[in-house]
């Protein structure tokens, strides 16, 4: 992989920025070059939120996504704001519950039960971690072990078991998706 662009999108309070920082840290530890940018509305919860990662083997000098390879959508509010950045062959991962009408086009759209799975684990606040596991399987930006290490290093130890379970559930649900 010489270059990849990933956008995490949804609403404030869903942990999107944390997920992007975790992935960026894992990639940096793997020797990849990563530029990250964030944008969010000035409300702590509920406003539109996104984080872009531009990943490269060489310098990733521009932090804004211009041609998204993987778009993760966790809220209906973000369902259509990034479709102009998708190209043929791009993959959209949408939360099946919170994004009932995901974008359709000349790209692949996959609706997965991120929120439902997190709720089943006992805490819907780990929806972002479930989604991160699925993204890791489908996009393969780095080894799952490297991403798990970054996740555990960047989150409170008291949530280790829950984060491990959420990440594993995301990895497993994406394995079931046909290529």
Report the 10 Å Cβ neighbour count for 117.
26
Nearest 5°: phi and psi at 144?
A: -55, -35
Tell me what pLDDT residue 95 has: 98
Q: What is the DSSP letter of 61?
A: -
Question: What does the pLDDT look like over 13-32, one tens digit per residue?
Answer: 898 999 999 999 999 999 99
pLDDT at 43 exceeding the cut of 80: no
Confidence check: pLDDT of 177 > 70:
no
Q: Domain with 117 in it: what CATH number?
A: 3.40.920.10
Stretch 172-177: mean pLDDT, rounded?
82
Has residue 47 got a pLDDT over 80? Answer: no
pLDDT at 171: 97
What band does 3 get if pLDDT is binned at 50, 70 and 90? confident
* Residue reference for tokens 């966790």: 74
The per-residue pLDDT for 174 is 86
Q: Whole domain around residue 122: which residue ranges?
A: 3-175
Number of domains in the chain: 1
Percentages helix, strand, coil for the chain, rounded to the nearest 5?
40, 25, 30
pLDDT tens per residue across span 123-167: 999 999 999 999 999 999 999 999 999 999 999 999 999 999 999
11: which strand partners?
48
* Other Cβ atoms closer than 10 A to 63: 14
Q: Which of 7-11, 45-49, 68-72 has the lowest mean pLDDT?
A: 45-49
For residue range 57-112, list pLDDT tens digits in order: 877 666 677 789 999 999 999 999 999 999 999 999 999 999 999 999 999 999 99
């Amino acid at each position: 992989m010489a270059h990849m662009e990933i956008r995490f999108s949804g609403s404030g309070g869903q942990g999107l920025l944390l997920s992007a920082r975790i992935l960026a840290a894992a990639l940096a530890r793997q020797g990849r070059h990563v530029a990250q940018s964030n944008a969010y509305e000035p409300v702590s919860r509920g406003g539109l939120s996104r984080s872009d990662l531009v990943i490269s083997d060489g310098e990733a000098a521009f932090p804004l996504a211009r041609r998204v390879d993987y778009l993760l959508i966790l809220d209906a509010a973000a369902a259509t704001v990034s479709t102009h950045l998708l190209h043929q062959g791009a993959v959209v991962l949408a939360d099946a519950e919170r994004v009932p009408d995901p974008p359709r086009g000349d790209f692949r759209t996959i609706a997965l039960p991120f929120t439902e799975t997190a709720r089943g684990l006992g805490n819907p606040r780990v929806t972002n971690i479930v989604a991160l596991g699925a993204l890791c399987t489908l996009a393969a930006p780095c080894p799952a072990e490297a991403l798990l290490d970054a996740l555990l290093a960047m989150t409170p130890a008291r949530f280790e078991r829950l984060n491990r379970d959420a990440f594993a559930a995301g990895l497993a649900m994406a394995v079931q998706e046909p290529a």
